[in-house]
Structure 1
Amino acid sequence: MSRIQFPVELKGVGGFISAAEIKSGGGIANLPPWLGKAIALVDLDAFFASVEQLDHPEWKNKPVIVGGDKTRRGVVSTCSYEARAFGVHSAMPSAQAARLCPQAIWARGNHVRYQEMSTAVMMILADESPYLEQVSIDEAFIDISPGRFANEHPIVVANRIQKKVRELGISCSIGLGTSKSVAKIASDIDKPEGLTIVYPGCESDFLRPLPIRKLSGIGVKAEKQLHELGIRTLGQLAQTEQSVLVSVFGKNTELILSRCQGLESSEVIDEAITKSVSNEMTFSVNLVDISEIRQAVIMLCVKVGRRLRRKQLRGYTLTLKVRFDDLSVRTARKTLDHAVDDEQDFAPVICELIGEVWQAGQEVRLIGVGVSSFEARPEQLSLFTIPEQSICPGIESTSDQPNKSHKRSLVEATDKVKNRFGENAVRYGRDLHFFEIGSGTIALKDDCPTEQH
């Protein structure tokens, strides 16, 4: 269960708000409004080890060490919290870790699996805000400032993120503040599965008592130099004259001072160039009926269309991917004459691709839908004509211009409702079945140039 910490007493609240109050909904009304930027750092707890424990239930609550080999040279990549209790930590020589925790379970690691889980988590974040910056396989900044994308309170969003990650079978700790540096420090305060909030205006009080090594940009060498100057806390560092610190930080002195004073201004920047937007779902019960397969395709198309519009992308190439119960995979693609971002336009076409990859009687384990080959173009109201008796029941298409405009208005209105109240505020009745049989192991995905497609 998440533990919510307020580093300082909040004016107007009359004390601290407990995790139980927030999770029950009773504390939401008492939350002071969040004024200004809200940046969260989402850090997956003991990520590799947690995935190993997820995939090996018999390892749960046992010390697990990933990487290295207790019988050979090597270093620990990461370890579970149970192993950390014995003093084991990342980058420790394997031999030393084996001495400290001889009963530990050693896992070589499965980076394909770790990347799969990382992608699932990152797409949970992408569902909450398009302003996402992944900094490593297990960490990402996300801008959830009220009014920038949605109007929900950042603490509500952070709680929802933790809940969704927990549903994947792992956990995350979140730091929430007005800058990247504050969010990063806050994320390390309460682990595992902690949520530490630093309200706007509380940055200085939060940072003041912390040791200087907590601040990004201060390493072992700088720490030693600062200790020689009698500076041990961020509060002491914040009060030091800039001229005194130039010998330690050089051209970065001003940046370091702004960080330790809680005055840093930072932006969440997604530097990756999106090459495709896709969504996959793994089903806990294999699909064998064509109507269920079509419904699943439609639901995934709705998610992809939503993501395309949020990123202001329109694509020409449509892709359908199907994995069967024997783990074989088949893929079909079609390139259109016009770029699309509306599932009402591309869902019928992707449904037509089902016949190219699936035959009656085959059991479907996973379905994926994607749009790629992006180009920004002025909106064209009539992209192509689909017969009224569409192969894809549930998403009708027509060349009737007024009706087309009406449907586009409906899509935009639905987007606005979701922006304000969350992704689950509006659902199609046909999709409810898949919230029960879809495991969600692989979630919404943006493919970048460095990834294989």
Structure 2
Amino acid sequence: MRAAPTILHLDMDAFYASAEQASKPSLRGRPVVVGGLGMRGVVATASYEARRFGVHSAMPMAQARRMAPNAAYLVPRFSLYRTVSEQVMELLGRLSPLVEPLSLDEAFVDLEAGGVADDSVTARLVGEQLRTVIRGVTGLSASVGLAGSKMLAKIASEEAKPDGLLLIEPGTERELLAPMSVRTLPGVGPATGDHLRRAGMTVVRDLAEAGEAELVRLLGKAHGVALHRMALGYDDRPVVAERDAKSVSVEDTFDVDLHDRVRVRTEVERLADRCVHRLRGAGRSGRTVVLKVRRYDFSTLTRSETLRGPTDDPTVVREAAARLLEAVDTTGGVRLLGVGVTGLADFTQEDLFAQAADARQAAEAQVAARAQQTTADEPASGTTPVPDEPPAGAEETAHGYATPPAARHWQAGHDVRHDVHGHGWVQGSGVGRVTVRFEEPGMPPGRVRTFRIDDPELHPADPLPLVRDPVDYSSWPASLPKSLSGPVPPEGAESSP
């Protein structure tokens, strides 16, 4: 435990939904829900306007639609969220070498290790200026908690939401925690909370007064001891810099259970390709391929195969995943599939490339053999097809094959560009039509137009930056205290959430 509140916890406010509101001017001040839009979709993030209707993360999307029927429902745009997250993490990295990301929108920072704060006054200055800089760079708001421990810094940022800062002075932890719900403490979920409630413990004060022995009797030694320490405000966990990822994986949940074995295999191969794309994007390779299958009855099976060495070859991963699938019974239907790679390394094993080449040659030989059996009324084309053929009607470009307009699926919230009307986003599609609102971040709400889904002038597009002309903070935080305008807050003062 520290004598100064130099551990900072940053949490972006309703991150996905706030990014969508900043990106789409017509959604400012409106309830926005981001998540899977299918029958089995769940809410990833709800804007504060949507939360007033009772919508919250992890809620089934069908339930959210009943509670807030007039909200805007959008699929996630992770490319945008990752870009903004990278901007925020870069700013945090300027404050300290010890930054511990918890997710795209949340991180701990050790201000003392960065030499930018060593007491309450300087810690508050850093926190307030960080919020200002993040808004100038990303256009989004963030909440900050400052305390002498990670647990209390996270609790403080939650109390400060939205768009606030709360500093907990060391020595005041127990008094602050006493009236809070036991669910405030890490590790106390619904089941543990109900167990404690039945024992007459509903607030943190009850846990502190019950004593360690009673909590050990109720919850077991490890959990009981840890919970009693937290109730007294003790937490000596250090801020740990970002660790290397241990695995790379992708998965999809399907709106309707998959029963066709061929379709299941096709989906597994597609997921394997996506997984390798992420693997290569991280500059890594992996040795163990993992297949995850969730069946119709919610039972989840995991199978793995360890290769002779690390690889980033899509053919190797695809075939390993297909072999694993052969050992899984998919009778009755499949609701979720996932492919992952573990045992990551920074190099590849050369003999695996030979293995991939052998696999490709075998596939080509098989295709050639089939071509020789072509009947006279179906003559061979003179070219040897490859196993992964482009979609029908696809047009070859410098970057591969462009999906033909008629085959495009326009998802609500995704970016588009029209040759005449410019940049916009999909409001909805169906019955052969797609409705687009043409607007850009930082501009007034735009006009809505409807097109055929195969309109040749309408194209998918990348998200635009949320801030058109970001403020230049290239010198921050070199002149940290001097660059603040206005008087320095008195020590011990708290910013209002």
Does the aligned pair in 2 maintain the 1:175–1:185 contact within 8 Å? yes
Cross-structure match for 2:178: 208
Cross-structure match for 2:286: none
1:242 and 2:212 are equivalent in the alignment: yes
1:159 and 2:217 are equivalent in the alignment: no
Query: What does the per-residue CA deviation read over 1:310-339, in whole Å, with 9 as the maximum and x for residues that have no partner?
Result: xxxxxxxxxxxxxxxxxx99xxxxxxxxxx
1: CA distance between counterparts of 2:142 and 2:69? 28
Equivalent residue in structure 1 for 2:166, among 193, 196, 218: 196
Shift of 1:258: 1.5
Cross-structure match for 1:77: 44
1: CA distance between counterparts of 2:183 and 2:53? 23
For structure 2, the residue ranges without an aligned partner over 5 or more in a row are 246-397, 400-463, 466-474, 484-497
Shift of 1:234: 0.6
2: CA distance between counterparts of 1:47 and 1:419? 24
Compared CA separation, residues 133 and 146, structure 1 to 2 (3 A): closer
Compared CA separation, residues 418 and 185, structure 1 to 2 (3 A): closer
Shift of 1:266: 2.1
2: CA distance between counterparts of 1:87 and 1:273? 37
Cross-structure match for 2:86: 119
After TM superposition, the structure 1 = structure 2 runs for residues 269-280 of structure 1, keeping only pairs within 5 Å, are 269-272=240-243
2: CA distance between counterparts of 1:423 and 1:156? 7
Equivalent residue in structure 1 for 2:234, among 263, 280, 296: 263
1: CA distance between counterparts of 2:67 and 2:211? 44
| Letter paired with 1:162 | R
After TM superposition, the structure 1 = structure 2 runs for residues 41-440 of structure 1, keeping only pairs within 5 Å, are 41-69=9-37, 72-145=39-112, 148-150=115-117, 153-167=122-136, 168-246=138-216, 247-272=218-243, 421-422=479-480
Shift of 1:176: 1.1
2: CA distance between counterparts of 1:91 and 1:47? 15
Compared CA separation, residues 249 and 197, structure 1 to 2 (3 A): farther
Does the aligned pair in 1 maintain the 2:116–2:126 contact within 8 Å? no
Compared CA separation, residues 418 and 175, structure 1 to 2 (3 A): closer
Cross-structure match for 1:443: none
Shift of 1:190: 2.8
Compared CA separation, residues 138 and 257, structure 1 to 2 (3 A): same
Shift of 1:272: 2.4
Report the 3-state secondary structure (helix = DSSP H, G, I; strand = E; otherwise coil) of the residue aligned with 1:175.
strand
- Identical residues among aligned pairs (%): 36
1: CA distance between counterparts of 2:41 and 2:144? 31
Report the 3-state secondary structure (helix = DSSP H, G, I; strand = E; otherwise coil) of the residue aligned with 1:225.
helix
Report the 3-state secondary structure (helix = DSSP H, G, I; strand = E; otherwise coil) of the residue aligned with 2:69.
coil
| Letter paired with 1:104 | A
Query: What does the per-residue CA deviation read over 1:290-312, in whole Å, with 9 as the maximum and x for residues that have no partner?
Result: xxxxxxxxxxxxxxxxxxxxxxx
Shift of 1:78: 0.9
Cross-structure match for 1:444: none
Does the aligned pair in 1 maintain the 2:17–2:32 contact within 8 Å? yes
Query: What does the per-residue CA deviation read over 1:99-123, in whole Å, with 9 as the maximum and x for residues that have no partner?
Result: 1111111111111110111111111
| Letter paired with 2:93 | A
Rg larger for: 2
2: CA distance between counterparts of 1:160 and 1:418? 10
1: CA distance between counterparts of 2:122 and 2:476? 14
Does the aligned pair in 1 maintain the 2:95–2:114 contact within 8 Å? no
Does the aligned pair in 1 maintain the 2:117–2:126 contact within 8 Å? no
For structure 1, the residue ranges without an aligned partner over 5 or more in a row are 1-33, 275-327, 330-364, 367-416, 426-453
1: CA distance between counterparts of 2:143 and 2:213? 37
Query: What does the per-residue CA deviation read over 1:418-447, in whole Å, with 9 as the maximum and x for residues that have no partner?
Result: 88743997xxxxxxxxxxxxxxxxxxxxxx
1: CA distance between counterparts of 2:198 and 2:478? 52
| Letter paired with 2:22 | L
Report the 3-state secondary structure (helix = DSSP H, G, I; strand = E; otherwise coil) of the residue aligned with 1:153.
helix
Does the aligned pair in 2 maintain the 1:36–1:146 contact within 8 Å? no
2: CA distance between counterparts of 1:236 and 1:115? 41
| Letter paired with 1:128 | L
| Letter paired with 2:87 | A
Compared CA separation, residues 123 and 147, structure 1 to 2 (3 A): closer
1: CA distance between counterparts of 2:110 and 2:198? 38
Compared CA separation, residues 160 and 149, structure 1 to 2 (3 A): closer
Compared CA separation, residues 83 and 131, structure 1 to 2 (3 A): same
Does the aligned pair in 2 maintain the 1:128–1:422 contact within 8 Å? no
Moved over 6 A (4+): 417-420
1: CA distance between counterparts of 2:242 and 2:86? 16
2: CA distance between counterparts of 1:242 and 1:97? 41
Does the aligned pair in 1 maintain the 2:208–2:232 contact within 8 Å? yes
Query: What does the per-residue CA deviation read over 1:21-70, in whole Å, with 9 as the maximum and x for residues that have no partner?
Result: xxxxxxxxxxxxx943521110110000111111111111111110122x
2: CA distance between counterparts of 1:148 and 1:165? 20
| Structure with the largest fraction of helix | 1
Aligned length: 253
1: CA distance between counterparts of 2:117 and 2:167? 19
Q: Which moved more, 1:188-197 or 1:44-53?
A: 188-197
Compared CA separation, residues 193 and 98, structure 1 to 2 (3 A): same
Compared CA separation, residues 108 and 163, structure 1 to 2 (3 A): same
Compared CA separation, residues 419 and 158, structure 1 to 2 (3 A): closer
Does the aligned pair in 1 maintain the 2:211–2:228 contact within 8 Å? no
2: CA distance between counterparts of 1:42 and 1:140? 5
Shift of 1:201: 0.8
Shift of 1:249: 4.3
1: CA distance between counterparts of 2:36 and 2:478? 47
1: CA distance between counterparts of 2:116 and 2:21? 35
1: CA distance between counterparts of 2:188 and 2:220? 9
Does the aligned pair in 2 maintain the 1:62–1:104 contact within 8 Å? yes
Shift of 1:254: 2.1
2: CA distance between counterparts of 1:99 and 1:176? 38
| Structure with the largest fraction of strand | 2
